[in-house]
């Protein structure tokens, strides 16, 4: 299973947000902005598939979003579904 284009952009955004100097986990708004999505609901729509795919994990209320080892491998491969 490979992530779709919007899901891949979310993975990239989560990775970029985690590399910022901000000590807090990224918010859904931050991820949406970095992924160039129109709203945080677009991120929320894709999160279940990203979690089932094993690419991301999060704390309660989707706070604390972070990449898993599988998510990091998906980023390195750069493969997405059209």
CB atoms within 10 A of CB 60: 6
pLDDT score recorded for residue 21: 60
Distance CA 12, CA 74 (A): 10
pLDDT, tens only, 1-40: 788 899 999 999 999 888 776 677 788 888 999 999 999 8
Distance CA 58, CA 64 (A): 5
pTM comes to: 0.87
Q: Which H or E run includes 11? A: helix 5-19
- Residue among 22, 35, 28 at smallest CA distance from 59: 28
């Amino acid at each position: 299973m490979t992530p779709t284009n919007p899901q891949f952009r979310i993975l990239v955004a989560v990775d970029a947000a985690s590399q910022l100097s901000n000590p807090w986990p990224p918010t859904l708004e931050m991820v949406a902005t970095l992924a160039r999505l129109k709203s945080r609901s677009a991120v929320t729509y894709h999160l279940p598939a990203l979690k089932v795919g094993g690419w991301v994990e999060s704390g309660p209320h989707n706070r604390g979003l972070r990449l898993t080892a599988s998510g990091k491998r998906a980023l390195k491969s750069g493969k997405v579904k059209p």
